[in-house]
Structure 1
Amino acid sequence: MSEAHSEPHPLTLPEDDLFGPDNLPYGVFTTEDDQDLRRIGVRYGGYVLDAGAVADAAGSPHAGLLQRPNLNPLMAAGRPVWQAVRAELRSWLTDPAHADVLTHNLIRIEDVTLHLPFEVADYVDFYASEHHASNVGRMFRPDGEPLTPNWKHLPIGYHGRAGTVVVSGTPVVRPRGQRRAPGETSPVFGPTRRLDIEAEVGFVVGTPSRLGEPVPQSALREHVFGVCLLNDWSARDIQAWEYVPLGPFLGKSFATSVSAWITPLDALDAARTEPPGRSHPLLDYLDDSAAAEPCGLDLRLSVALNGHTVAEPPFSAMYWTAAQQLAHLTVGGASLRTGDLFASGTVSGPEPHQRGCLLELTWSGRDPLGLPGGERTFLADGDEVVITAWAPGPGGSRIGLGEVSGRVHPAR
């Protein structure tokens, strides 16, 4: 007679689970029986906790914030509220007194549909990896210096298109645009032939700031609600033709995918690390030599193309930190708004297998990747890209950052 195996209790997680009580990322979900009701959820193991329902049952003063259709009201409430809500969630999930209420409000993750968890206000993409910037410089300026003269003095960035930030799993339609082939004098119009990815980390702003008042590096925790994975899809041939003199436009504006889970910044305390050594003196507002805590993050990314791992970029190698990016973003007087998203730029390390885009991995198409389904230089229709990541957590644990995925659909 075979021995019956009971289903493990949803509140009992293995010690190595990436989504335990030290993580608790936020998302927004619907269920099959109520597809119009968007609810805030918290990832716990293989389940989603209906945070608003539990908060209401527990008589939490924050129940109203957790019963909204997106995270923006919670993010706008400020850090003291974020900390209080996080403490409540941890208490509910670890205190046996709440077990019955929790069990009735835990939903298997495969039984929910995840949505873009916050309304994006503005989107800024930086260029913070020295290894990525140097590789691109060597490809495009082989006879010159790899880095531009300003690169070691400020975090270079550009304003993207907030309306095309989409949640993980959203199809990515191959964009059309102008491109000019090498040696040709005139451009042609059509689908991009050099569709690429950029493995990045995004930072989501909660607390706004006033117009005209710069935000110092030391205020990062007061303004940044959490972290997500991000893929800034890029049409390299369209970008190459349009970006001089003003920078990326149509080559970047068709889709930016973000993970469905926003990891609270406080969940990444054990992942804080010193950034790389600075080779140039920095102006006061960017100088982090006397920072109260290290502002680098030890995040381990992995990039898979059609199920095959092609890169493992280390975020700890990023030259410019999120705190410096925030300070530079606002130093001219620009205000922060709840829902602002700023991204790190392509995450690349010093080794070939640590490069976070196909442009680098194939050296602009010169060295195709050998994959089980055939060689790739840039993306083909039907290709699926999945970026995952984890970070060190308390006591040797690991914090999962979920995933950001997208499949390429043909041009329309």
Structure 2
Amino acid sequence: MRPDSPLAVPSDALFGVHNLPYGVFSTAAEPGRRRLGVAYGEHILDAGAAARATGASAELTALLDAPSLNPLLAAGRPVWTRVRAALTAWLTADEHRAAVEPRMVPRADATSHLPFDVADYVDFYASEHHAATVGRIFRPGSDPLPPNWKHLPIGYHGRAGTVVVSGTPVVRPCGQRKTPADPAPGYGPTRRLDIEAELGFVVGAPSPQGSRVALADADEHVFGVCLVNDWSARDIQSWEYVPLGPFLGKSFATSVSPWVVPLDALAAARVEPPARDTEPLPYLDDRGARPPYGLDIALEVRLNGHLVSRPPFAAMYWTYAQMLAHLTVNGASLRPGDLFASGTVSGPEPRTRGALIELTWNGERPLELPDGTRRGFLEDGDEVTITATAPGPAGTRIGLGEVSGRVRPAH
């Protein structure tokens, strides 16, 4: 293979053959035409064009020629496995090189779009370290965790319509605010704009209303993962959340990475979840599960280019299988394109915390950035970028790409 071929990708590349994440892209030549693509090295395989050029079946070609991931999501795990095998063959076998090479588009020349149409969005609160730190900030001297926290994965329903792809600017939201010192609430732009570094799980195969998804069936429904930044207006949130929880402080924007990494690509990242000191109810009992449902994914958070945190997903108390089991235990249905996120990923050390509210102790201890600036919460013009990698086979690593967003002033 020619060294300059777009198919000449090292086996240890973050977007190499062990990864093959899916996304949706367009080009300057056809800006209105959205295509399903697979990231490979520094290029994107135009999946539909490759299917036609290699003489793939009509079923497979129709799935890959769609303008979003949703038809493939709905097809289910046996089809996901066949499609992944076909993509691997197209990108690596000499017999397909002549057909596939012309269907590779430089990533630098492509525009990324939301990779799937979000059906429903649920956000969890699955990190014990995050929940306990926030509890210590707001309830000093009391038990930092609410009494239900270790018995069920706490979550809330978000707003699917404001999930946006990485790179979309985030307008500072306005709303009601009231501090304990204020005699009455006021209205205006949030003064405490925050981020939450999270992992998102993309649902493929649906489930009927009135049924439940068991832990052992989670992998039949979860297609893959993406990075999530759950932007949060802490002052709006703190005034509104009693008694029903997050609302306008969360619903203005949630950013996701443009690439969805298939769950199959994370086989080498499976780890045991942390030891638990509370016995879960049977429907949440994942002890002895093989493979385990913990994931060794290393996140990094950068503020204006400066590394401020390295949150470890392996430290999360609740796993994605437990989140999905709890999400559906009341009979709630799943739809292709459902997105559920982990909540803030945080570790035990100060520089492993995934939100500014923790990193700065609610703004009381501002971050000192290398350029001499200080941040308690985000200012207009700030840009936040979250990246992540995970173990791949034979000591390699795979990449989850990045999710980034820049803050714009309130309208």
Same fold (TM over 0.5): yes
Separation (CA, whole Å) in 1 of partners of 2:173 and 2:81: 41
Q: Map 1:24-63; keep pairs closer than 5 Å.
A: 24-61=20-57, 62-63=60-61
Shift of residue 11, structure 1, vs aligned partner: 1.0
Structure 1 partner of 2:342: 344
What secondary structure sits across from 1:124 in the alignment?
strand
Structure 2 partner of 1:259: 257
Separation (CA, whole Å) in 1 of partners of 2:280 and 2:204: 27
- Kindly provide the amino acid, as one letter, of the partner of residue 45 in structure 1: G
- Kindly provide the amino acid, as one letter, of the partner of residue 293 in structure 1: P
Structure 2 partner of 1:3: none
Separation (CA, whole Å) in 1 of partners of 2:301 and 2:389: 12
Separation (CA, whole Å) in 2 of partners of 1:81 and 1:185: 60
Deviations for 1:84-113, whole angstroms, at most 9, x for unmatched residues? 000000011110111112110111001010
Structure 2 partner of 1:200: 198
Is residue 162 of structure 1 aligned with residue 136 of structure 2? no
Deviations for 1:28-68, whole angstroms, at most 9, x for unmatched residues? 00000111111000000000000000111112120111001
Deviations for 1:301-348, whole angstroms, at most 9, x for unmatched residues? 000000000000000000000000000000001000111000000000
Separation (CA, whole Å) in 1 of partners of 2:235 and 2:375: 16
- Kindly provide the amino acid, as one letter, of the partner of residue 46 in structure 2: D
Which residue of 180, 183, 206 maps to 1:182?
Answer: 180
Separation (CA, whole Å) in 1 of partners of 2:79 and 2:289: 25
Separation (CA, whole Å) in 2 of partners of 1:373 and 1:385: 17
Structure 2 partner of 1:236: 234
- Kindly provide the amino acid, as one letter, of the partner of residue 11 in structure 1: L
Deviations for 1:193-247, whole angstroms, at most 9, x for unmatched residues? 0000000000000000010101001111110111000000000000000000000
Structure 1 length as normaliser, TM-score? 0.98
Separation (CA, whole Å) in 1 of partners of 2:242 and 2:326: 23
**RMSD, matched Cα:** 0.9
* 2:53–2:100 CA contact under 8 A, matched in 1: no
Deviations for 1:109-154, whole angstroms, at most 9, x for unmatched residues? 0101000010000000000000000000000100210000000000
* 2:11–2:18 CA contact under 8 A, matched in 1: no
Shift of residue 181, structure 1, vs aligned partner: 2.1
**Higher mean C-alpha displacement, 13-22 vs 372-381:** 13-22
Instruction: For structure 2, list consecutive stretches of 5 or more residues without a partner in the other structure.
Output: none
Separation (CA, whole Å) in 1 of partners of 2:150 and 2:267: 27
Is residue 21 of structure 1 aligned with residue 20 of structure 2? no
**Relative to structure 1, is the Cα distance of residues 244 and 89 closer, same or farther in structure 2, using a 3 angstrom cutoff?**
same
- Kindly provide the amino acid, as one letter, of the partner of residue 50 in structure 2: V
What secondary structure sits across from 2:31 in the alignment?
strand
What secondary structure sits across from 2:404 in the alignment?
strand
Separation (CA, whole Å) in 2 of partners of 1:204 and 1:177: 30
Separation (CA, whole Å) in 1 of partners of 2:66 and 2:180: 52
Task: State percent identity of aligned pairs.
Answer: 67
Which residue of 202, 212, 215 maps to 1:214?
Answer: 212
**Relative to structure 1, is the Cα distance of residues 295 and 362 closer, same or farther in structure 2, using a 3 angstrom cutoff?**
same
Shift of residue 185, structure 1, vs aligned partner: 2.5
Structure 2 partner of 1:10: 6
What secondary structure sits across from 1:37 in the alignment?
coil
Structure 1 partner of 2:399: 400
- Kindly provide the amino acid, as one letter, of the partner of residue 392 in structure 2: G
Separation (CA, whole Å) in 2 of partners of 1:117 and 1:81: 18
Structure 2 length as normaliser, TM-score? 0.98
Separation (CA, whole Å) in 2 of partners of 1:346 and 1:78: 29
Separation (CA, whole Å) in 2 of partners of 1:302 and 1:353: 10
What secondary structure sits across from 2:8 in the alignment?
coil
Separation (CA, whole Å) in 1 of partners of 2:274 and 2:88: 34
Separation (CA, whole Å) in 2 of partners of 1:348 and 1:367: 18
Q: Map 1:132-143; keep pairs closer than 5 Å.
A: 132-143=130-141
Separation (CA, whole Å) in 1 of partners of 2:48 and 2:161: 27
Is residue 376 of structure 1 aligned with residue 375 of structure 2? yes
- Kindly provide the amino acid, as one letter, of the partner of residue 408 in structure 2: H
Structure 2 partner of 1:74: 72
Is residue 357 of structure 1 aligned with residue 355 of structure 2? yes
Which residue of 91, 94, 110 maps to 1:93?
Answer: 91
- Kindly provide the amino acid, as one letter, of the partner of residue 240 in structure 1: S
What secondary structure sits across from 1:34 in the alignment?
coil
What secondary structure sits across from 2:394 in the alignment?
helix
Instruction: For structure 1, list consecutive stretches of 5 or more residues without a partner in the other structure.
Output: 1-5
Separation (CA, whole Å) in 2 of partners of 1:344 and 1:244: 22
Q: Map 1:94-133; keep pairs closer than 5 Å.
A: 94-133=92-131
Deviations for 1:352-402, whole angstroms, at most 9, x for unmatched residues? 110000000000011110111510000000000000000000000101000
Separation (CA, whole Å) in 1 of partners of 2:372 and 2:328: 46
**Relative to structure 1, is the Cα distance of residues 398 and 65 closer, same or farther in structure 2, using a 3 angstrom cutoff?**
same
What secondary structure sits across from 1:310 in the alignment?
strand
- Kindly provide the amino acid, as one letter, of the partner of residue 385 in structure 2: V
**Higher mean C-alpha displacement, 8-17 vs 278-287:** 8-17
Separation (CA, whole Å) in 1 of partners of 2:78 and 2:3: 38
Separation (CA, whole Å) in 1 of partners of 2:354 and 2:309: 6
Separation (CA, whole Å) in 1 of partners of 2:62 and 2:124: 35
